[in-house]
Each structure stands twice: as structure tokens, then as C-alpha cells.
Amino acid sequence: MSSLPIKLQGSNFTMVVVHLYSSQLREIRLALQQEIDKTPTFLQNAPVVINVAMLPIETNWMELQQVVESVGLHVVGFSGFRDKKHKTALIKANLPLLIEGKRENSIPNLSKDSVSNKTQIVRTPVRSGQQIYARHRDLIIMNTVSPGAELIADGNIHVYGKMCGRALAGVSGNVKCQIFCTQSEAELISIAGHYWLSDKIPSIYKDKIISFYLSANALAIELLS
């Protein structure tokens, strides 16, 4: 046993990235509160990363952070700075900076072929509060996924049962990943950081066999039967 009182170790965590397209603080607060009200169990007190790629350098960064946290979110860091000046402005505001992971074509071991060659299979029900992470592989669930459960995979996700929780595929940046469901009532669907909450999924697909995928850098849905 180490005599040191701490240990530093790298790890992976799933966090929501809030992309901002306006620096109007009142508008941001109202929009965030609306999203939280839709799915309070998912977003309330959630850690988030703020992507500021579309905001001007002159933005009041400290007030921006305060507004985001005023609705109950916890800002872990800021990402998306465009250049050195943009980055310097954030540093001067004493804000934590994060660099988002590289996309699929920059990560050889996460190509479509290499991911599909490895699969993690779960045959038991996935309970509320349970999280399953398939690192560098696909994830297949052969049972139900309860509300509040979370499926995470660097590859594709397949759910052959009622899907009521959250599914996040391609979390390391693989934009070719898909999520397949035989009966979807998902709280959240995400592929490579692009996500839909439950209200974005048309009800006509509720009891159908479907797949979610990215098209033109946006989530799309396809009926498979």
C-alpha cells in the first residue's frame, strides 16, 4: 500500500457539452432552464463543458459561467477556443480550458472496422443508476434498459429489449457509429457528442426497430422494419 495520501490517475467521464451561439446572458439562462425542465433527472446538477467557438472574444466569461451555474449546472471547463487570442481571453478570466478529443480519422484504433471486431455483450437487465462502458468496442444489450441507466461505448450500441435509459455511442469521436434499438423510449441518444433528448425522437418510432446515426453532422433516425 502506498504511503502517499493521493493517487493521480487518468479516466473517462461522459459530460454534456453546451454549445453557445449567443452571448446574451438572459437568453442563455432561459434556454438552459427550458432544457433542464424537459429532463430534470438527466440535466439537474450535471457537469457540463461550455463550447465557446461561436462567441466573441469580448464576452464576459465570468458572468457567462455564473449564468450557466445559476440554473444548477456545474461547469467543468470551456472548449472550442478558435485561436491564441480567444484562448488568452479565457485564461485571463481564470477559466479551466479543455481540448476536445480528436475525431475518428485521427484515432486509428477506433476505425469502423477495428471497433466492430470487438463486442461486449450484456444479457442481464441494466438497472436504473447502472452505467456500462464498452471501451474500444461495440456494446450489445440482450435485455431491458431501465430509466436512469446509461450505456456508453466507443463503438456501436445495440439494444435488443426495451430501451428506456441513455445511450451514448462513439464517445471517443467515431462519427460512423450507430445506435440500434428494437423498442426505444430512450431518455437520451448521443453519437460522438451529438445528442437528442426524448422529446426529439418522433413517437411514431416508439415500437419500431430503428437506428440512429449521424448525417451531415447531425443526428438522424432510420426505420429498419
The answer to whether residue 54 sits within a structural domain is yes
- Residue 189 cell numbers, joined: 441518444
Low-confidence residues of the chain, pLDDT below 50? 102-116
Shared domain check, 123 and 147: yes
Q: Is residue 5 part of a domain?
A: no
The domain boundary residue, chosen from 92, 113, 129: 92
Q: How do residues 67-103 score in pLDDT, each as one tens digit? A: 999 999 999 999 888 888 888 998 999 988 987 654 3
CA atoms within 13 A of residue 142's CA, in its CB half-sphere:
6
* Nearest-angstrom CA–CA distance, 98 and 108: 22
**Is 7 inside a domain boundary?**
no
For residue 148, count other CB atoms closer than 10 A to its CB: 17
Provide the domain limits for residue 124. Answer: 104-223
pTM above 0.85, yes or no: no
25-38 vs 61-70: helix crossing angle, rounded to 10: 30
What CATH number has the domain bearing residue 52?
3.30.70.260
221 contacts: CB under 8 Å, gap ≥ 6: 201, 202, 205, 210, 211, 212, 213
Q: Are strands 218-223 and 210-215 parallel, antiparallel or unpaired?
A: antiparallel
